Amino acid sequence: MSHADTFRRYLQLYAARDLDAIADLFADQIRLRDWKISLAGKAAALAETRHNFERVASLQIEVLSLFESADGVAGELRILIDGREELHVLDVLRFDADGKIAEIHAYVGRGD
């Protein structure tokens, strides 16, 4: 599976709020950073993901563009939360030697 395929799979699982399947994609020492938080470790990343899921009823994620390198993927995303709140986000994922997600850096943007 290519890194781009894993990235798309992660987004599908995130939209489906499938925490158990997401856990299988995360490296043990994953680092997660966005515009609000910065944390390290699989347990902390899964706890933050669970917290995000608990705050919403539905998520729709559309990939607007995708860029892949040897060890990472960056995707420009349009995220619709609960059918009404729209976010534009750039997710940058880096992968370890086993193909697990080792880093997620997310940046909020604008839709215009």
Assess whether pLDDT exceeds 90 at residue 1. Answer: no
Over the stretch 72-93, which tens digit does the pLDDT of each residue have? Answer: 999 999 999 999 999 999 999 9
Q: What is the pLDDT of residue 111?
A: 83
Reference 66, options 4, 13, 1; nearest CA is 4
State the Cα–Cα distance between residues 28 and 31, nearest whole angstrom.
9
State the Cα–Cα distance between residues 73 and 83, nearest whole angstrom.
27
> Contact 35/108 with Cβ under 8 angstroms?
yes
The answer to whether the pTM exceeds 0.85 is yes
